């Protein structure tokens, strides 16, 4: 059984709406030239990374999936984008922090077994992970984003994945370290935006629809977890088809999972209650 379309989801961890719209020169250029559309998306609460990852992929709230903090790590017991793409006969790929493997593949994390795997049964059929072990404000422990983008590109070329997710913590770590009103953050955003710009056209040429977004925002001081527009609101850039909502509408993060499944033509499980925000061809 073939899926209708192939989709890649790129998550720039911790990039707030206001920083995205001001500093992503390439992404904004594509939006301005009509090659992409952009909406504001609001994260779930808590606007904590792990809670958001689980909600992005399951379409259910943290109050249901139970990932309340970055310390509550377990195999999430809800259908998610990986499991549903697999059930529909598709191949999935992940180039992400190890939390995604723990939540959606297996737990506990085993460094040697789980750092990289190719398992035709899935739910993640091709996983390439990093743990950021030792992370702190003086040592980010993030891989280079060029390496991550290249790895995802390799998965598309070598395995022809139908769905792939890339998640990078670079900007989240920089924001926690420096806050947002600083030259370090200006430079970090320009760097990742430029690296992404090199790879994104390759994915489009290979027939993928591509979403670029974030899990949550950050305050000017570099905090998130709570309720406020600066902590919750992120940009959602869409390089693909479908009829979307009006430009000023704020998208619900819980609608992302059913929207991705709709684009790929995979059935939406009953647990995903939010309506897809992209419809039609
Ligand atoms: Zn995060």
pLDDT score at 168: 98
- Ligand 1 centroid to residue 59 C-alpha, Å: 17
- Ligand 1 centroid to residue 4 C-alpha, Å: 31
The SS3 of residue 199 is helix
Contact in structure between 262 and 211 (CB atoms under 8 Å): no
Q: Per-residue pLDDT tens for 253-267?
A: 999 999 999 999 999
- Ligand 1 centroid to residue 215 C-alpha, Å: 6
What is the band of 1 on the pLDDT scale with cuts at 50, 70, 90? low
- Ligand 1 centroid to residue 228 C-alpha, Å: 15
Prediction pTM value: 0.98
Mean pLDDT, range 6-32, rounded to an integer: 98
- Ligand 1 centroid to residue 225 C-alpha, Å: 9
Phi–psi pair at 81, nearest 5 degrees: -60, -40
pLDDT score at 232: 98
- Ligand 1 centroid to residue 196 C-alpha, Å: 18
- Ligand 1 centroid to residue 169 C-alpha, Å: 7
What is the band of 82 on the pLDDT scale with cuts at 50, 70, 90? very high
The SS3 of residue 6 is strand
- Name the residues around ion ligand 1, CB cutoff 5 A: 13-14, 49, 172, 215
Measure the CA–CA gap between 222 and 173, rounded to whole angstroms: 9
- Ligand 1 centroid to residue 6 C-alpha, Å: 25
Tell me the pLDDT of the chain averaged across its residues.
Answer: 97
Mean pLDDT, range 22-30, rounded to an integer: 98
- Ligand 1 centroid to residue 89 C-alpha, Å: 30
| HSE-up (13 A, CA, CB side) for residue 163 | 30
Q: Per-residue pLDDT tens for 231-243?
A: 999 999 999 999 9
């Amino acid at each position: 059984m073939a899926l209708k379309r192939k989709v890649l989801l790129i998550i720039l961890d911790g990039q707030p709406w206001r920083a995205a719209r001001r500093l992503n020169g390439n992404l904004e250029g594509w939006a301005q030239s009509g090659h992409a559309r952009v909406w504001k998306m609001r994260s779930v609460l808590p606007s904590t990374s792990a809670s958001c990852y689980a909600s992005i992929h399951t379409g259910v709230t943290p109050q249901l999936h139970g990932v309340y903090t970055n310390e509550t790590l377990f195999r999430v017991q809800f259908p998610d984008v990986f499991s549903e793409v697999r059930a529909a006969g598709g191949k999935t790929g992940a180039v992400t922090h190890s939390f995604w493997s723990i939540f959606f593949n297996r737990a506990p994390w085993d460094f040697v077994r789980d750092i990289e795997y190719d398992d035709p049964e899935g739910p993640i059929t091709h996983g390439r992970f990093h743990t950021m072990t030792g992370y702190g404000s003086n040592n980010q422990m993030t891989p280079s984003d060029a390496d991550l983008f290249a790895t995802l590109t390799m998965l598309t070329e070598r395995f022809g994945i139908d769905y792939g997710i890339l998640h990078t913590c670079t900007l989240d770590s920089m924001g926690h370290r420096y806050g947002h009103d600083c030259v370090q953050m200006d430079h970090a955003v320009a760097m990742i935006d430029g690296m992404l710009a090199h790879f994104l056209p390759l994915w489009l040429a290979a027939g993928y629809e591509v979403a670029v977004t974030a899990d949550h925002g950050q305050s000017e001081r570099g905090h998130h977890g709570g309720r406020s527009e600066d902590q919750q609101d992120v940009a959602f850039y869409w390089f693909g088809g479908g009829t979307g909502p009006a430009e000023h509408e704020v998208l619900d993060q819980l609608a992302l999972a059913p929207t991705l499944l709709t684009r790929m033509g995979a059935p939406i499980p009953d647990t995903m209650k939010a309506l897809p925000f992209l419809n039609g061809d």
